[in-house]
Amino acid sequence: MHEFFPLIVVGAVLGVLSMIFIAAYLSIRRQKEAIGFDRSMKDSEITRRLLAYAAPHWKSFALVLFVMLFSISYDIAAPILLGNIISLIERDFAIPELLKLISVYAGILVVSLVCSYIQAIVLQRTGQKIISRIREDLFAHIQSLSHEQLNEIPVGKLVTRVTNDTGSISMMFTNLIVNLIKNCFIIIGVLTAMLCLNYMLTLMVLCFVPFIVLFTVVFRKFSRRAYRRVKDGTTDINTFLSENLSGMKIIQSFHCENKKKQEFDRKNEALGRSKTGEMLVFSIFRPLVYMLYVSSVLCLLYLCGRGYINEISFLGQTVTSSILVTFYSYVNKFFNPIQSLAEQFNWLQSAYASAEKIFVIFDMKPTITDAPDAIDLEKIDGRIEFRDVWFAYKPDEWVLRGVSFTVNAGDTVAFVGATGSGKTTILSLLCRNYEIQRGQILIDGHDIRSIRIRSLRRHFGQMLQDVFLFSGTIRSNILLGAEGIDDEAVMQACRYVNASTFIDRLANGLDEEVRDRGNNFSAGQRQLLSFARTIVHKPSIMILDEATANIDTETEVLIQDSLDKMMHIGTMLMVAHRLSTIDSADKIIVLSHGVIVEEGSHDALMQLQGRYFELYQMQFERERLRAEPSARS
């Protein structure tokens, strides 16, 4: 009985390891149920959607699989050749015969290396094409989302999805898929060769397979969860950085550096704990698989050394030193793919966790879409009508309550009222940035819901208080990708809105660099550039939302002159911070708590001495009080 003691010890060790692993699994499962996790996609769904991107490149993958068969030949043939060489050395041998075997061995090795190189090159090129397509589709989908949805999703989260997460699944197409198939072929080929060589030793090795399956299944559950935590932590910290780096001036102005540093430390520590959990899962799985490999080798050496195989083999199979070396090599090649599966599982779970995050974004359907019978409007006159419009950002919290008004084509209409009265909301609804709950909005008699969104917005030119300029040049910011507009047309628009007053003084003119968000230009200069950008695209309806707020007096004169010129281009809707800038408007609509309380020209509303008159007097008094200290000084 003592002769079987090593086998009993190995079996006991494996049994204890299995019990520990199962206990750990049940413990974490209970923890999961206690904490609660978001419902995740099934692996089969993620695989199906990822493979849909790979389908157009099936020829490249077929070539890789074809080449892979030649590289696998080395893994299958090498142990046999090595065993034959040892068998030849054991007995009297001729040098030419030995050289022949060595040459065949070297030839197979060279072919395998060449095939591996070709496989790597084709996979990298194909994988990058697939990832580029995913990034393009994801960015295009994000652009299609409604303003309401984009406001709810942190910018850092979207950046993480487009960059980090797509990068994580790159390894799946450039390495994982083919290598998983390759490892399966190797395992099948090695098992077949082992069975042909000595089926009893092969059955002994197969006794370890159930443990491998058990560890793999449990590892997959742990690793997927660990990677999901890492992805969430990465998204959280990227979102924090995106927001706080953009607002660093405010942080420094209010001396909040220490507080923000503490917040960052907490998020960084949380990400560190997630990373530690991820590494813990991985550090358990691979040693366990390696333990199985060592155990199988020990059993192989023990059984062959004691001669038990010869005693129980009724087919009279014998185990020579060459068979032992060959079988040892096969056992190594059998467990090597399984051990590499640990690393591949490592990347696979990372790719699946990232793909899950990406597909969540893909599954977000735009809340505002074109109707099936939506039409294109090549040209509009600019007549606008609101009919009993009700709107709320949140259910039952009405921002607009039964708003109705008409704007004739070519008129200039200004909206005034206290903060939160619904002025900016009206402009947003007109462009279908949000969808109304009740009522109807018409342009030239067409309900805006019957017009294609792209066609509708093409006729609008928006000039907002917070002007956004992209990194690039002045020219690129004015054109925004528009084709067929030459520099003369651009400069003509700049002269029309007085932007040429500072552009002409720049060393590079239209080629002057625009840094992040246009921070190398003043607020007034950025506003004039936004005016030029609007004019060069020739809109039929212009929207100005607090365009003259926070502008110095000198620049305000230029902007007001630009506004006076633009009023003659087409229909203009204005939300004015300074009421003195809307004196010449054709109609002024006064809002209060989402309801129109007054409308008419400036003179008519002043004579009425209602809400507009009060607002005008209050603002006039504030400006007078601010001017008095300056006059005394």
Pick the last residue of a domain from 500, 517, 538: 538
Most confident of 4-18, 202-216, 492-506: 492-506
Is the domain of 449 the same as that of 493?
no
Is the domain of 356 the same as that of 279?
yes
Is the domain of 178 the same as that of 313?
yes
Is the domain of 162 the same as that of 57?
yes
Interval 517-541: pLDDT, tens: 788 888 888 888 888 888 888 888 9
Choice between 135 and 105, residue whose per-residue pLDDT is larger = 135
Place of tokens 């199962």: 22
Is the domain of 248 the same as that of 341?
yes
pLDDT at 28: 42
Whether 309 is in a domain gets the answer yes
- Whether residue 335 has pLDDT greater than 80: no
Interval 402-413: pLDDT, tens: 999 999 998 999
557, 586 Cβ separation under 8 angstroms = no
Is the domain of 377 the same as that of 341?
no
- Whether residue 75 has pLDDT greater than 70: yes
- Whether residue 628 has pLDDT greater than 70: no
Choice between 217 and 361, residue whose per-residue pLDDT is larger = 361
Domain enclosing residue 629, as ranges: 372-459+541-551+567-633
Is the domain of 109 the same as that of 189?
yes
Whether 164 is in a domain gets the answer yes
- Closest C-alpha to 568, from 482, 474, 497: 497
Place of tokens 């487009």: 162
For residues 609 and 334, what is the distance between their CA atoms, to the nearest angstrom?
92
How many domains does one find in the chain? 3
Is the domain of 238 the same as that of 314?
yes
Is the domain of 302 the same as that of 406?
no
Instruction: Answer left, alpha or beta for residue 376, where phi above 0 means left and psi between -120 and 50 means alpha.
Output: beta
Q: How confident is the model at residue 623 (pLDDT cuts 50, 70, 90)?
A: low
Q: How confident is the model at residue 94 (pLDDT cuts 50, 70, 90)?
A: low
pLDDT at 442: 95
Residue 198 token pair: 């000595």
Mean pLDDT value across residues 359-368: 90
Q: How confident is the model at residue 438 (pLDDT cuts 50, 70, 90)?
A: very high
Whether 113 is in a domain gets the answer yes
Residue 263 token pair: 């917040």
Total Cβ atoms within 10 A of residue 126: 22
Most confident of 181-195, 265-279, 300-314, 419-433: 419-433
Q: pTM surpassing 0.85?
A: no
CATH number, residue 193: 1.20.1560.10
pLDDT at 310: 46
Whether 24 is in a domain gets the answer no
Is the domain of 453 the same as that of 469?
no
Q: Percent of the chain having pLDDT more than 90? A: 15
Interval 108-129: pLDDT, tens: 888 888 888 888 889 888 988 9
Is the domain of 322 the same as that of 337?
yes
Total Cβ atoms within 10 A of residue 395: 7
Choice between 293 and 400, residue whose per-residue pLDDT is larger = 400
For residues 185 and 527, what is the distance between their CA atoms, to the nearest angstrom?
64
Residues facing residue 417 across a β-bridge: 591
Pick the last residue of a domain from 362, 382, 405: 362
Torsion of CA 475, 476, 477, 478, to 10 degrees: 50
- Whether residue 589 has pLDDT greater than 90: yes
Q: Transcribe 425-459 into DSSP letters.
A: HHHHHHTTSS--SEEEEEETTEEGGGB-HHHHHHT
Whether 436 is in a domain gets the answer yes
Work out the burial of residue 526: count CB atoms within 10 Å of its CB; fewer than 13 is exposed, 13-18 middle, 19 or more buried: buried
- Whether residue 71 has pLDDT greater than 50: yes
- Whether residue 26 has pLDDT greater than 50: no
CATH number, residue 492: 3.40.50.300
pLDDT at 91: 65
Pick the last residue of a domain from 362, 393, 414: 362
Is the domain of 208 the same as that of 238?
yes
pLDDT at 195: 82
